[in-house]
Amino acid sequence: MTKEEAKARVEELKALLKKANEAYYQDAKPFMSDKDFDESLKELEALEHAYGLVTEDSPTQRVGGEVSSEFETVVHPVPLLSLDNTYNEQELKDFDGRVQRILGHTDYDYLVELKFDGASIRLRYENGQLTLGATRGTGQQGDDITRNLKTVTDIPLSLKGTFPAVVEVRGEAYMEQEAFARMNNRREEEGLSVFANPRNSTAGSLKMQDPKAVAQRPIRFFAFDLLFEPENEEITQWDKVQLLKEFGLPDNEYPRVCSSIDEVLNSIHEFDQLRHSLPYETDGVVIKVNQTNLRDQLGSTSKFPRWAIAYKFEAEQAQTVINDISLQVGRLGTITPVAELEPVLLAGTTVKRASLHNEEEIHRKDIRIGDTVLVEKAGEIIPQVVEVIHPDRKNRSEVFVFPTNCPACNTKLIKYEGEVAWRCVNPLCPPQVRIKIEHFAARDALDIEGLGESVVDQLVTEGLINNYADLYDLKVDQIVPLERMAEKSAQNLVSGIEKSKEQPFERVLYALGIRFVGKTVAKDLAKAFKTLEALKTASEEELLAVDSIGPRIAASVIEFFGNPINQELVDRLLNAGLQFETEEVELASAVLEGKTVVLTGTLPTLSRKEASELIEKHGGKTSSSVSKKTDYVLAGESAGSKLTKAQNLEIAIWSEEEFLQFIGE
C-alpha cells in the first residue's frame, strides 16, 4: 500500500468510526457490531503508526462518544476509560502475560464480573448525598444528567453506613428484557416507533429533556466500582464490591475472585451458560486486577487501562428463511442489499432484516431468495447472514442479479475502480437527499439545532426542501403546520439555520458531503486554497500538493465540483451567505516560521488544541509523528514513544514552560 492509499483508507476508517461512535453514544442507534468496530479501530491504528498519520481527531486518540449540546458538560476528575476487547482465550492469556511482565511477579489475582449491555454512568456523592450523575461522554467529560438519574429508583439519593466525604461511583444503567418488551408493546399500541433493543432504549431515555418522561421508562442500575477522595491504596476491587452493598448501592450478585487465568477462563465458561437465564442482557465478562495498588504500576494507554480487559461472548445464532432481497440507498449513493427475513428471535429481539453488504458478498456466500440461512447478531447488535443451510439442495431460486439502475431514482449505477459497492451518483436521488441534509446539519458539520432526522423527513415529504440549499429559503410560516411544530420551535429552527452561516469554511466543506472529505481533509483543503473559487478550479496536481490529499480524494473533489447540480447547490449556498473563505489569522510572531512541532503527553496547563493554536499563531505547524523533519517536540506527562524517538534522533525537546518562553507568551 502506498502512503496516498493509506491516507485515503485512514480517512475512510476515521469517518466510519466517528459515525459509529456518534450512532452508539449520541443517537443510541448503533449500526456496527462491537467486533467490526474493534477490527476497524485496530486497522486504523496500524495504518496510522505505519505511515505516520496519527492526528488528534482520530478515534484511536479518544475513548468514545461526544458530549451532547443539550446538557451541561462536566469534566471527569478521573477519566472513564473504555476497556480493550478480546474475543478469544489466547488473547486473555496474552493479557495475563503482559500483567506478569510489567509487575515482575504473580502476587495478584483477578476480579471477574459480568459486562452489562447498557449505558455507562458516573455518580458523585458528597457527605453521603447524590450531587451529580453524568454520562461517560468522551471519557474526559460527559453530560450532567443528574435530574434524569434521580428518577431511577435503583440509585439511592443518599448513602447508608459509614462513608468518606466524597464517593465516586461507576456503574451501568440498563433495562430488563421483559420490561423492555412490555414498553415496546405499549408504544406499538399507541402507534409509536419501537426501540431496537434495551441498550438503545436506555441510552436514549437518559438523554431525554423531561425527567418525568424518563421516570416512565423501566431503567435499572448496577454499580461496579468506587473511587474515594483520598484513594485508599490498600483496598481491593473485591473490598469495593462489599462496600457497594454497605453503602446501599445495587451491585450485581455474580462477581468472583480468581487466583489464576485458568480460573478466569472457567468462570467465563460458566457465565456464558448463565447469561441465557438472566433477566437482562450481558455481552461479556470484565476481568480486573483485584489489587488496586498495582494499577498505577500497570498504567494505561491513551484509551484503555492495562489492568483490565473485556471478554466478549460469541454472538447468538438462529436459522430462518430469506423471503426477499431489498436494496437501500446510502448518503453517498452506496447501494446496500438487505435480506428480508422470516422473523426470528435472536439475542432477545425479533430479527426481520439483515444486511448483505454488497453484491460480492451475496455471490461469495451464494445467497438466494428462499434460502434457509444461519443468522447472527454480530456483537449482539447487527443481524447478519453467516451462511446458507443446504446450498446444494434442489429447486433453489435463480442467482440474485444486481440491478443496473438505482431502485430509488432509476439512474444508471456505477462502480468505482477498486471498490465492491455499486453507487447512484445522482445528487437529487430522494433517499440520498434526506441523509445528505442530515449530514449537512450534523453537529460536526453546520450544527443546525433542531434539524434532526424526523424534521428533515417532514420537510422533504411535504416538499418544502429538496436539497440542503433549500434550507436557507425556509420561512417560519411554512414550518409551523408540520407535526409537533409550533411557532417557537419553528422560529428556533429558522434561527438555527441562520446561525449556521457563521460556521467557518472548513465546516462548510465537510458539510457538503464530498466523498473521502472528512473533517481533517476539509480543514487542510480550506487552509491550502483559502477560497471556494480557488478550490473549485484546482487541478489534480494542485490538490495532490496538499499533504493529506491522495489521488482518490483529489479525483473525488474534482468530480464533485465538476457536477452541474453540485455547482448550482454550492452557488446557492454562497449567495445565501455561508462562509466560503478562510479568514486570514494575523501571526503573533514568526519565531516558528517553517518549523514543525510534535506534541506528546499531557501538558500542565495547555490542552493539545490550545498548544496547536499557539504554534500556528507563531508561524509553525504541528505534526502527529516524529521524524528527521521534526524541529521540536513539546512533551508533557506520559509522553511515551514519541519522546523516546525524539531523544534517539537528538531533536530539541521542550517542556511547556520552555515552549511558552520561546514564543514569548
Mark whether 359 and 451 lie in a shared domain: no
Mark whether 43 and 125 lie in a shared domain: no
Q: What long-range pairs does 426-429 form, CB within 8 A, spacing at least 24?
A: 426/333, 427/467, 427/563, 427/565, 427/566, 427/569, 428/466, 428/467, 428/565, 429/329, 429/333
Mean pLDDT across 521-543 = 92
Give yes or no for residue 25 having a pLDDT over 70.
no
Mark whether 162 and 269 lie in a shared domain: yes
What amino acid occupies position 234? E
CA-nearest of 217, 192, 189 to 204 is 217
pLDDT at 372: 95
Mark whether 139 and 250 lie in a shared domain: yes
Mark whether 488 and 352 lie in a shared domain: no
Q: Of 31, 61, 91, which closes a domain? A: 61
Dist. CA 317–CA 372, nearest whole Å: 13
Mean pLDDT across 621-631 = 80
Cβ atoms of residues 211 and 147 within 8 Å: yes
Sign of the C-alpha dihedral computed for residues 217, 223, 224 and 226 taken in this order: positive
Residues marked active site are found at 115
Mark whether 350 and 231 lie in a shared domain: no
pLDDT at 629: 81
pLDDT at 245: 92
Mark whether 248 and 355 lie in a shared domain: no
What amino acid occupies position 356? L
Give yes or no for residue 18 having a pLDDT over 90.
no
Give yes or no for residue 551 having a pLDDT over 50.
yes
Is 196 within the bounds of a domain?
A: yes
Q: CATH number, domain at 637? A: 3.40.50.10190
Is 332 within the bounds of a domain?
A: yes
Dist. CA 461–CA 454, nearest whole Å: 10
pLDDT at 343: 92
Band the pLDDT of 419: cuts 50, 70, 90. confident
Q: Of 576, 604, 629, which closes a domain? A: 576
440 phi and psi, to 5 degrees? -60, -40
Residue 337, strand partner residues = 327
pLDDT at 459: 94
Return the number of other C-beta atoms located less than 10 Å from residue 574's C-beta.
16
Return the number of other C-beta atoms located less than 10 Å from residue 345's C-beta.
11
Mark whether 106 and 250 lie in a shared domain: yes
Mean pLDDT across 581-598 = 84
pLDDT at 185: 61
* Mean pLDDT, the chain, whole residue set: 87
Q: Using alpha carbons only, what angle is made at residue 468 by residues 464 and 473, rounded to the nearest 5 degrees?
A: 50
Give yes or no for residue 366 having a pLDDT over 80.
yes
CA-nearest of 311, 296, 298, 309 to 78 is 296
Cβ atoms of residues 200 and 29 within 8 Å: yes
Is 584 within the bounds of a domain?
A: no
Mean pLDDT across 485-507 = 94
Q: Of 288, 312, 336, which closes a domain? A: 312
Is 589 within the bounds of a domain?
A: no
pLDDT at 586: 75
Provide the edge-to-edge strand list for the sheet that holds 308-312.
Answer: 85-86, 308-312, 282-289, 110-116, 256-258
Count of structural domains within the chain: 5
Is 208 within the bounds of a domain?
A: yes
pLDDT at 380: 43
Mean pLDDT across 406-411 = 95
Mark whether 29 and 95 lie in a shared domain: no
Is 17 within the bounds of a domain?
A: yes
Mean pLDDT across 354-367 = 88
Three-state secondary structure readout of 637-656: ECCCHHHHHHHHCCCEEECH
pLDDT at 339: 94
Give yes or no for residue 97 having a pLDDT over 90.
yes
Mark whether 308 and 322 lie in a shared domain: no
CA-nearest of 514, 525, 501 to 574 is 501
Chain centroid offset of residue 25 CA: 6
Between these two residues, 336 and 577, which has the higher pLDDT value? Answer: 577
pLDDT at 608: 81
Q: CATH number, domain at 12? A: 1.10.287.610
Is 525 within the bounds of a domain?
A: yes
Q: CATH number, domain at 245? A: 3.30.470.30
State the residue for C-alpha cell 517542556. 655
Parent domain of 545:
430-576
pLDDT at 379: 43
Dist. CA 155–CA 233, nearest whole Å: 26
Give yes or no for residue 114 having a pLDDT over 60.
yes
Give residue-wise pLDDT tens across range 184-241.
Answer: 766 644 445 557 678 878 888 898 888 877 888 889 999 999 998 767 777 899 999 9
Is 460 within the bounds of a domain?
A: yes
Share of the chain above pLDDT 70, in %: 92
Give yes or no for residue 267 having a pLDDT over 70.
yes
Q: CATH number, domain at 364? A: 2.40.50.140
Share of the chain above pLDDT 90, in %: 45
Mark whether 375 and 251 lie in a shared domain: no
Mean pLDDT across 288-312 = 90
Mark whether 241 and 99 lie in a shared domain: yes
pLDDT at 321: 96
